[in-house]
Chains A and B, each alone.
Chain A
Amino acid sequence: MSTATRESTRKGPGGKDYGYGNARVRGMRSRLLKPAFFEDLMHAKDIGAVIQTLMDTEYSSELEERLLQGRTANNVDEALRDNMVHTFNKVLSVINDEAYELVTTLLGRWDVFNIKTIVRGLHMHLAEEEITEGLVPVGQLSYIDLEELTRQGDIKALVDTLSTWDLPFGVPLREVLPQYLENEDLSLLELALDKYYSEWAAKELKGRGHNEQLSRRFLGIQVDTINLVTCLRLLNSDIGDQDPKRFYLPGGLRVTEQLFLDLAAKSDVDEVYDRLKKTPYGRTVEEVAVKYIESGSVAVFERALEDYLMRKAFAAGQGDPLGVGIVIGYLWAKANEVTNLRIVVKGVSVGMPVDRMREELIV
């Protein structure tokens, strides 16, 4: 339902002409905030000063709207999210048909994120407003669609609605629904969604063209980083007699099922590093190994792999000027910028030291 609606109302150029869309995206990219801006923002004395600085950027219109409800960090956060949604939708409306197909497939991870947010909310019996606060409608599902899903009241009705709309995400949920209803294990639904998405997206991006291959590679890196984080988490957790294979997501680039199982069987980070040495992720893991030993938190690796993914997205944006890489690079850079701004806004509002905030910023 929603997918068809959004595609039929799209006004972007058709075919494979990347000239117009990429020129617009490059124009938008030139307005991304520079590192020096973040440095100044982190030194702002309070949230009022942060708002003042942000009012001179392209976030001003969303800020004006949200700040009518009060000049709080939460409202700034909402405004940043609104801007991200507007920007993503704008990009989707100016790119050509081929890029639209590829990018919406990659943005499917946001649809999964939103559906998981709703599923979690319904599982915890949260109020509608609380669930919708956490949604970021930048994929194929619009805010109205997601609101409608939130209104369903329980997970069974949500799955029925997704199936009625003929959305791909209804399939995995319907399959595991009986098991979920039996033991109320939320991870069943989340894992089913993640697995289905990575398989579905890998299938969708199976073309031979340069752009399909680039998108497929990027999806592969995303899936790899998720699998590696899962492996590193398994090092520190007791999963009992559960088969680690259950947590493996297909569709990765370098982390095969065999490698995943090997890594999951390791007992410490050194062994994991030895096994990963010959893959592109070896260096990333090695760089933060000392930090991990100091802090003992898997979040260190998670962060390093996220940085790696971002660097790959930026690299995609530096390649073919008439390819989809420009669009992918920009969208990920924009999402990264919004994440960084949210970190600074939260940091300044709670009086976090500048050094700590700098550490938290991605790339």
Chain B
Amino acid sequence: MIKNKLAKVVFGSAFLTTMMVPAMALAEEAAEAGGAAPDWRAEVARYAAAGISMAVAAFSAGYAQAKIGSAGAGTLAERPEAGTNIIVLQALPEIIVLLGFVIAFMVGTA
């Protein structure tokens, strides 16, 4: 069912994003333990993790906005007075991207 698919995508992306942070922390520790010069593999993993967390968050928000957008268009066609509410609902998934961005920033600058 569509609801289940949506739940899978949201939980999946949240899981991936959460897993990236400890993975990066470990990579950082390994780099520090290795000596003064950071290991290039740890650097690559860090930037890759930052990119992934941003991308997954952006795709999730896009998926959510597509669903809300099509339902919102339908509602607006029948009840134009609900316009303000639809715009607010349409903007809500942006928070997911924002969180993804914050995580990416933290990972990238750690």
Which of A's residues lie within 8 Å of B, judged by CB? Answer: 13, 16-24, 26-28, 30, 94, 210, 320, 322
User: A16, A23, A210, A320: which contacts B74 (Cβ < 8 A)?
Assistant: A23
Point out the residue from A21, A27, A322 that lies within 8 Å of B3, measured CB to CB: A322
CB<8 Å pairs between A and B, sample of 17: A16-B2, A17-B70, A19-B68, A19-B71, A20-B70, A20-B73, A23-B70, A23-B71, A23-B72, A24-B75, A24-B78, A26-B75, A26-B78, A27-B74, A27-B78, A320-B3, A322-B2
Q: Using a CB-CB cutoff of 8 Å, which residues 70-106 of chain B contact chain A?
A: 70-75, 77-79
B63 to chain A, nearest CB (A): 12
Question: Cα distance A64–B83 when bound, in Å?
Answer: 30
Most buried by B among A13, A22, A23: A23
Residue of A nearest to B72 (CB): A23
A26 to B74, CA, bound (A): 9
Most buried by B among A16, A18, A19, A27: A19
* Given contact pairs A16-B2, A18-B2, A210-B1, A27 touches B67 in the complex (Cβ within 8 A): no
Give B residues with C-beta under 8 Å from A: 1-3, 67-68, 70-75, 77-79
- The chain A residue with its CB closest to the CB of B1 is A210
Select which of A19, A30, A210, A320 is within 8 A of B70 by beta carbon. Answer: A19
Cβ of A22: which chain B residues have Cβ within 8 Å of it? 71, 74
A16 to B5, CA, bound (A): 13
* Chain A proximity of B72: nearest CB distance (Å): 7
Taken together as a complex, chains A and B put the C-alpha atoms of A52 and B45 apart, in Å, by 73
Q: Is the CB of B74 within 8 A of A30?
A: no
Per CB-CB distance, the 7 closest pairs between chain A and chain B, nearest first, are A27-B78, A23-B74, A19-B71, A24-B74, A19-B70, A20-B74, A23-B71
Q: Which of A19, A24, A28 contacts B67 (CB 8 A)?
A: A19
From the candidates B3, B68, B77, name the one contacting A24 in the complex (CB within 8 A): B77
Other-chain residue from B1, B2, B3, B75 in contact with A23 (beta carbon distance below 8 A): B75
Chain A residues, CB < 8 A from B77: 24, 27
Bound CA–CA A20/B74 (angstroms)? 5
Which residues of B are found within 8 Å of A23, using beta-carbon distances? Answer: 70-75, 78
Q: Kindly list chain B residues whose C-beta atoms are within 8 Å of the C-beta of A13.
A: 70
Known: A20-B74, A23-B78. 13 other contacts (CB 8 A): A18-B2, A19-B68, A19-B70, A19-B71, A20-B70, A20-B71, A22-B74, A23-B75, A26-B78, A27-B75, A30-B78, A94-B74, A322-B3
Contact B73 A27 (CB under 8 A): no
* Chain A residue with the shortest CB-CB distance to B77: A24
Which chain B residues border A20 with CB–CB below 8 Å? 70-71, 73-74
Cα–Cα, bound, A320→B68 (Å): 16
Closest B-chain residue to A29, C-beta based?
B78
Q: Which residues of A contact B70 (CB under 8 A)?
A: 13, 17, 19-20, 23
Q: Chain A's nearest CB lies how many Å from the CB of B71?
A: 4
Chain B: minimal CB distance from A329 (Å)? 16
Which residues of the partner chain A approach B72 to less than 8 Å between Cβ atoms? 23
Give the docked Cα–Cα distance between A52 and B83 (Å). Answer: 31
- In the assembled complex, the Cα of A18 lies from the Cα of B74 at a distance in Å of 10
Bound Cα distance from A218 to B74, whole angstroms: 26
Q: Which residue of B lies closest to A21 (CB)?
A: B74
Q: How far is the CA of A19 from the CA of B1 in the complex (A)?
A: 13
CA distance A26 to B75 in the complex (A): 8
Cα–Cα distance between A20 and B71 once the two chains are bound (Å): 4
Tell me which residues across on chain B come within 8 A of A30, comparing CB atoms.
78-79
Bound-state Cα–Cα, A209 to B6, Å = 17
Q: Output the least CB separation between A330 and chain B (Å).
A: 12
Among B72, B74, B75, max chain A CB count under 10 A is at B74
How far, in whole Å, are A136 and B75 apart by their CA atoms in the complex? 28
Give the docked Cα–Cα distance between A28 and B78 (Å). 7
Closest to B82 in A: A27
